[in-house]
Structure 1
């Protein structure tokens, strides 16, 4: 396991460099790379996740879960080590972000605080026991931005190049290059 872990560290380093660049480019407040590495909770969570995911893949699942929980405690960002996350990932602000075990996130994705990529329901077998490991979390394709407070549930796909507005609740697929915002609240004629 140690050898398998060590051989995968160079590719993980490359992913982290791309994540660091995404944070620098994606945040106008970012002045330099050391600031991001030391002071951004999203970067801390991503570093922990990249290493925990590697451990998860080679079978050290308990250690991976513990590592992800350390990051969760430090940052308020909860990423399951089983989640698959592409290159150039940026979590801005971050507190309250939840990313489930079977979530798949493409390249160049940016999310903001309080975003949930969760399960809509938990499938059960004939005896009523929860089925472990079933794909139940969203697929986020490349170049997607998800704003603060969005909740995306179930094994749905958010198409490439889409923007998901703040506080949006999604349980259905979104085609590529879509912009999804909250519906405008309107008073009914009887309420006026």
Structure 2
């Protein structure tokens, strides 16, 4: 692995390890989101816990750290394929954050930020699929799964150099949703109330 890629991947992992749901909850003297609701430190759980403004702040924070990691790698002159690996490192940081005892989120918002910088048309397509699925079924997990999977055909067609790192990123998101997948298959997944 080139030294430059290793350096920016480490920086991306550290950026990804900042959990905005946990930090915002601490700043607002609220319970740790890893102990309530779905126990996931992400925007969906913050919304589930009843605070839209904090959910939005969490979403923007998690999205921004993924985008920043890749933007820094781009600015440092890393080629597109290496920027993809840096993005994967940011998502790994979110999922297994060193600053929060490796108790992280599912990586969807951070991956969205990564994709906004790597391939914004793919990110836009995934966002539209997420919104349409959520509107249709009111399930954040199903929306996230379908949106993540939608990235792969687009990248295979338009940006094959990103296919391997993004496929691993999608695989990590699927792995983090394994409990949700089980509930979806059993027809027991939780829906957001309108």
The verdict on a shared fold, with TM-score over 0.5 as the criterion, is no
Calculate the TM-score normalised by the size of structure 1. 0.29
More helix by share: 2
More strand by share: 1
